[in-house]
Amino acid sequence: MPPPIEFAPHSAVILLSGGLDSATCLALALARGRDCRTISFDYGQRHRHELAAAAALSPGLGAAHHLVVPVGLGAIGGSALTDPGIAVPTAAARVGASPIPTTYVPARNLIFLALATAYAETAGASEIWIGANAVDYSGYPDCREPFLRAFERTAAIGTRAGIRPDGTAAIRVVAPLVHLSKAEIIRVGASLGVDFGLTRSCYDPQITADGKFFACGRCESCAIRRAGFLAAGIEDTTVYAPDLAHPQGAAHG
Ligand code: ZN
């Protein structure tokens, strides 16, 4: 038998998309004493700006290492985020529409968690942290607690890391934000010093030729983010497209 893998009890892999939730999740893991490695996925997403955000946020917040894994989900399509032929719906168009919007990427978190598990197992990390949230969210089924718990169990059965003698998974899936509102997440992140101006949530931003970023202010992700800042009573430093009217006059820069 090969020797058992030594899993560092305070070592964690953090899924870092570059958005507000995952940045807060990383800050929380660091605040709780974890030695953090971040992982991002270049999956053919429309909002590629988030990859640059993740690359800046990871060392900025204090992660020890940042890994980008290419995943060709664009070849599969089936989502407004991976198929240029499917328009990103506005938040207004979502009212009364299907509970799972076209921005859902088929099996995205299932795939990402599987890859994060491979990384954790290789790196000897005993936890995977994911900023999934099932309160102020878009109804994606792979953001919910039952899925995360079932995934953890599945991964434990199917990996060398496996199950501990006490019956728990050797690699735990930690989702500290799953039951928090967006406003609560923003308050937590702010208390931990997350610079939300560096995070990117918009599904359909405008990027100028010289690389300036403007959130659209109209997609569901922008709407949830903006409402969260308003509810939290914290200034929204998101730079919105200048041709749009905003309640906080937030078109900085
Ligand atoms: Zn947007």
pLDDT tens sequence across 42-86: 999 887 889 999 999 999 999 999 999 999 999 999 999 999 999
Expressed in angstroms and rounded, the spacing between residue 139 Cα and the centre of ligand 1 is 17
Identify whether 155 is part of a domain: yes
Q: Report d(CA 3, CA 1) in Å as an integer.
A: 6
Above 80 in pLDDT, residue 113? Answer: yes
Q: 82 Cβ partners below 8 Å, 6+ apart?
A: 43, 44, 45, 46, 73, 74, 76, 105
Q: What is the predicted pLDDT for the residue at 5?
A: 61
- The whole domain housing 36 covers 8-196
214 has which bridge partners?
Answer: 206
Query: Which residues are found with C-beta within 5 Å of the ion, ligand 1?
Result: 202, 215-216, 219, 222
Expressed in angstroms and rounded, the spacing between residue 117 Cα and the centre of ligand 1 is 30
Mean pLDDT estimate for the chain: 90
246 band by pLDDT with thresholds 50, 70 and 90: very low
Identify whether 65 is part of a domain: yes
Q: For tokens 């038998």, what's the residue?
A: 1
Identify whether 243 is part of a domain: no
pLDDT tens sequence across 78-95: 999 999 999 998 887 766
Expressed in angstroms and rounded, the spacing between residue 167 Cα and the centre of ligand 1 is 43
Above 90 in pLDDT, residue 252? Answer: no
Stretch 166-174: mean pLDDT = 95
Q: For tokens 């496996």, what's the residue?
A: 162
206 has which bridge partners?
Answer: 214
Task: Give one DSSP letter per residue of 63-120, joined into a string.
Answer: -SEEEEEE--GGGT--STTT-TTSPPPBHHHHTTS-SS-TTPPTTHHHHHHHHHHHHH
Q: What is the predicted pLDDT for the residue at 13?
A: 98
For residue 138, give the CATH number of its domain.
3.40.50.620
Give me the number of domains the chain comprises.
Answer: 1
250 band by pLDDT with thresholds 50, 70 and 90: very low
Q: Helix H segments across the chain?
A: 20-31, 49-61, 91-94, 108-123, 145-158, 182-191, 220-232
